[in-house]
Amino acid sequence: MEDIPKIGITGMPKVGKTQTLVKVMEFLQDSGYKVEGMVTEPLLEKEKRVGFYIRDWQTGEKEVFAHVDFDSKDKVGDYGVDLSILEKIGVPAIEKAIADDDVDVIIIDEIGKMEMLSERFCEVVIEALDSDKPIMITLHKKSRTPLLQDVRRRDDIRILEVTPVNKNLLPYKLEKIMKEKLPPLF
C-alpha cells in the first residue's frame, strides 16, 4: 500500500489549491491516465466570490453548492450550503472513481468545512482514502474537524502546502511524484 501515491494539498483560502490540483490532473490526463472525482469551483460575480459549484470531473456536470444568497440551515461563514447538490454530484463522482477499474487517480476537492457537513461525503472520503487507488485531495488548512484530523494523522498521505511562493512550481513537483508511483501506461 505504501507505493500507492496519496497526496494532500493544503493552503490558505484563495492561495490556489484547486488550481494546483487541476493542473496536475490535466498533466496526468495528457499523459493518458484516467482521473475521476469532484472539484469545487468558485462562483464569481463582478470578480467577487459569492458561492461555489460542485463539479463531476469526468462528466462536467456542475451545480451551485453554496451561495451567499442561499437561505439554508447549513451555513459556513456567509454561505448557505445545499448539501443535496454535494450528495447528488460530488459523492457519486467519488463513488464512481472508487468503483471504476479504469480510473487511475481519484480526486477530491475539497475536504473543507462546507463539505464535511455531509455525513455521506465524510464516509466516501474515508472509503476513497482506504482504497488501493492513487488519490489527490485538497484540505482546508485550519479546520480541526475529526475527519481532517484523521486525514492529517494518516501515515499513507503526503501533505504539501501551496503558498504564493511555490504555487507555480508545485504542480510540476506533484506531477513528478504521481508519475513516479503510478503504474506505467501501455
Alpha carbons 161 and 52: distance in angstroms, whole number: 22
CA 40 to chain centroid, in Å, comes to 7
The pLDDT assigned to 48 comes to 92
The domain containing residue 144 runs over which residues? Answer: 6-180
Count of Cβ atoms closer than 10 Å to residue 47 Cβ: 5
To the question of pTM greater than 0.85 for the whole model, the response is yes
Domain count, the chain: 1
Q: Would you say residue 145 lies in a domain?
A: yes
| Whole-number pLDDT of residue 186 | 64
Residue pLDDT tens, the chain, 186 long: 458 899 999 999 889 999 999 999 999 999 999 999 999 999 999 999 999 999 999 999 999 999 999 999 999 999 999 999 999 999 999 999 999 999 999 999 999 899 999 999 999 999 999 999 999 999 988 777 888 888 989 999 999 999 999 999 999 999 999 988 887 776
Inside any domain, residue 25: yes
DSSP state of 73: S
Q: Domain for residue 185, yes or no?
A: no
Per DSSP, which regions of 46-156 are E strands? 48-56, 62-67, 75-76, 79-81, 105-111, 135-140
pLDDT of amino acid 3? 81
> Looking at the domain assignment, is residue 106 inside a domain?
yes
Question: Is 186 a domain residue?
Answer: no
Sheet of 135-140: strand order equals 75-76, 79-81, 62-67, 48-56, 35-45, 105-111, 135-140, 6-11, 158-161
Which CATH number do you get for residue 166? 3.40.50.300
With vertex at residue 153, the alpha carbon angle to CA 29 and CA 106, rounded to the nearest 5 degrees, is 20
Q: Is residue 51 part of a domain?
A: yes
Strand-pair category, 79-81 with 62-67: antiparallel
pLDDT at 53: 96
